[in-house]
Amino acid sequence: MSRTHHVIVGGSIAGVSAAMAMRQSGFDGAVTVVDAEPLLPYEKPPLSKEADPEQAVRPILPEEHYREHGIDLVIGLRVHRLDDEHRRVVLAGGGELAADRVLLTTGVSARRLGTPGEELDHIHTLRTAADARRIFAGLHRGGPLVVVGGGFIGLEAAAVARTMDIDVTIVEAMELPLLGPLGPAVAGLMTRLHQGNGVRVISGQTVERYAGHGVVEEVVLTDGQRLPAATVVVGVGVVPNDQLAAATGATVHGGVVVDEYGRTDHPWLWAAGDVASQIHSRTGVRERIEHWDVAMRHGAAVGASMVGQPTINDAAPYFWSDQYGKSLQMFGRVRGTDHVVVREGAAPERFVAFWLREGRLAAVAGLDEPKAVRSAKTILDTNAVVAPEVLTDPSTDLRALARRLARPAAAPAQSLPVKT
């Protein structure tokens, strides 16, 4: 009798975490991780944070770790399609893997807008190690750099470029970079951090076209401005890699739709990480959460669920971003209707901000304030009502407040029965 075989498509942090969770849950069948890149599965966050892309490519686990846990790696091969009739994963080139269950951890790809001239050389997106090598090879030749789109990856690349003394301009369609994920108060602080480090920020503009002879030389904006550019990094969002799921007939809607355990509505197909459209227990809304920590935890939970240990990731969503030697950390998810307050004394170099929803802490973010953020995360976990002025007062000991709110309420005193 053949062993049960689970195939994980995508060597992402979600996929590797799922494979390890299967083993830790006692699964003794075969586990195979397939990835199109010809590299040992590696961490993606450092790619936009390091000037040396070779130093940035850090394996998630050493190669021997996979061997020790009986996890087979098939790298450098793309999955062509899923043959659900015969329960097989068909590889590019004709190879096949029998699969009792398939987990998609295929992540996302950078969105391209079809802007005229975007086929010119030295115009890049940043999602892979190969992308990072091309970008930073260009930056080591010199600037200027134009970053199109003020998201986290673009801003991290801008910060690295400034440490290399490269001239940097950020072009953002909205009023401020990071306005969507952070709101105006915190986005304003982060924008001022970049401006204070010599970055030019142009907001409310988009790119009309790229100009050059074979390679990009100028970025032409819709208002007619012409920005000289030796390198362009485009960060205008992502699209989920959900094509394999869609081809099987599984429901996709802004990602692969899954239940709380990572199951799709297709009998043998599961999904985890950035590609999965899930209802996180902390948010109550269906969405994709594109954070490394969330993908790691979701992958582990889905991997355990696939092998008979139903598990839900209920940890508060967390992410971090390193810029100019400072670390921005955030727990929770922001909504546009949240009440945002910033702790007194906030400056572009250091701050803590809180998002309140119905009087309860829904999210916290801090730049170079790790202790305050950790304490606020404990407050968030209690789901207790907190007055905004308590959070914004710099004299409030957040750690003590967290301990007090986390302490279970004392049981009411019991009256002794009266003897008669």
pLDDT score for 93: 85
Same domain, 138 and 219: yes
pLDDT score for 409: 46
The model's pLDDT over 8-66, given as tens digits with 9 standing for 90+, comes to 999 999 999 999 999 999 999 999 999 999 999 999 999 999 888 788 899 999 999 99
Residue 223 lies in a domain: yes
Q: Is the pTM of this model over 0.85?
A: yes
The domain of 342 spans 325-406
Number of domains in the chain: 3
Instruction: Determine contact, residues 219/231, Cβ cutoff 8 Å.
Output: no
pLDDT at 320 exceeding the cut of 60 = yes
User: Burial letters for 135-147: b for 16+ Cβ neighbours within 10 Å, e otherwise?
Assistant: bbebbeeebbbbb
Q: How far apart are CA 126 and CA 409, in angstroms?
A: 49
Same domain, 245 and 229: no
* Domain harbouring 166, CATH code: 3.50.50.60
Determine the 3-state secondary structure of 142 from DSSP.
coil
pLDDT at 326 exceeding the cut of 70 = yes
Residue 340 lies in a domain: yes
Token representation of residue 244: 């394999």
Determine the 3-state secondary structure of 232 from DSSP.
strand
Same domain, 210 and 289: no
Residue 216 identity (one-letter amino acid)? V
Same domain, 247 and 278: yes
Of 234, 258, 274, the residue at which a domain comes to its end is 234
